[in-house]
Amino acid sequence: MKGRKIRENVYLLGAIDWNRRLFDALMPLPDGTSYNAYLVQGSQKTALIDTVDPTKWEVLQHQLEGVAKIDHIVIQHMEQDHSGSLPFVLQRYPQATVVTNPRCKGMLIDHLHIAEDRFITVEDGAKLQLGNKTLTFVYTPWVHLPETMSTWLEEDRVLFSCDFFASHLATSDVWANETTTYEPAKRYYAEIMMPFASVIVKNLAKLKPYPVEAICPSHGPLYRRPAFILEAYNEWATGEPKNMVCLPYVSMHGSTELLVHQLTASLVEQGVAVQQFDLAVAELGQLALSLVDAATIVIGTPTVHAGPHPSVVSAAFIANALKPKAKYATVIGSFGWGSKTVEKLVAMLDQLKVELLDPVMCKGQPRAADYAALAQLANTIAAKHAALASRDP
């Protein structure tokens, strides 16, 4: 696929990875992804903004046929889905300089062994003149690594936002269909950006002075209506959690599943939405999506060697790392002769700013007293959610 024009002498390059199904050996990609690069041709100089994953270098190489000269290669973020083809581009354009910030420079030297004399480092707010086009570099750290920056194309009012506002979505469309892009963009936020919500709020404020008319991220389609994704990010990062329980669980012999189903029924009767995830088959991205909105996290687990099931351990680790804005958490489950499950899981959730509700752990199959405790837990959750809603302006 050839480069596609988005403004006069500004082109979307890069590769669509239709078949990739796992990112960083961790995140499922049900919709594939893309690696976006951008060519900006000024009246005097030409800049390439980011490259592509090295597995897709041949695609970018084909797109660069006919581009006789590149003066600057702007690298906004060092991870190799952005920078991995940089050595190939430098070989093709030996006079080109690599433009990045000092922190990213060090990372590129470490990871790609780029010679130090190939770099120009820029500070926050620095400008690069291409003739009739001006690039301004805007530091946007921790979206999602500390060296990440964005690039503002002044004359065309275009923001190249790197991973900020991205989506893992393979599509032939240049511009986002807001209906079909919303969930992949939210999923991207959930899996990658959510731990940095407080920094995202600061970066959103930092972008307000720029009269952005198009946002061009590093993955997925572009936004011709920036308000769509800006408002979504503001809601995901700052909005109050919803009247919803995220309930990841594993059941080995059915006892925990009985508890899960009973608690779900009790919550639904009181108007609380529940999203269940059987971790034996559930997909990580769906769990992360649920964590964006859930006011309460309930973890269901049997006991394995006096502790939680390994799949639950993994889910708890992910929830703790993502730092969702949930307000409450608890544990339900079962054991045979003894258990340290609750203590171990609570210790794993140390980064969550949640109130811990009374757990319900039954010995063997649940009895009437266990079901009564679940009913009380449902009452507590419903009351706390109602109190949250009453505070919501």
pLDDT for residue 393: 57
Which of 71-85, 294-308, 330-344, 355-369 bottoms out in mean pLDDT, i.e. has the lowest?
A: 330-344
Residue 96 has pLDDT above 90, yes or no: yes
- For residue 356, the tally of other CB atoms under 10 A from its CB is 14
CATH architecture, range 242-382: 3-Layer(aba) Sandwich (3.40)
∠ CA 298-301-305, nearest 5°, is: 145
pLDDT of residue 338: 73
The pLDDT of 328-350, averaged and rounded, is: 92
Cβ atoms < 10 Å from Cβ of 32: 18
**What confidence category does residue 392 fall into, taking pLDDT thresholds of 50, 70 and 90?**
low
Continuous H helices in 75-216: 80-83, 86-92, 102-112, 178-188, 197-207
Judge whether 4-238 and 242-382 match in fold.
no
Name the pLDDT band for 368 (thresholds 50, 70, 90).
Answer: very high
Q: What residue ranges do the domains of the chain occupy?
A: 4-238, 242-382
Across the chain, what does the average pLDDT equal?
Answer: 96
With a CB cutoff of 8 Å and minimum separation 6, the contacts of 247 are 260, 263, 264, 274, 275, 276, 277, 297, 298, 299, 300
Q: State the architecture of 4-238 in CATH terms.
A: 4-Layer Sandwich (3.60)
Q: 333 - beta bridge partners? A: 301, 361
Average pLDDT over residues 240-258: 96
pLDDT tens digits, 123-132: 999 999 999 9
- Kindly state the average pLDDT of the residues 252-267: 96
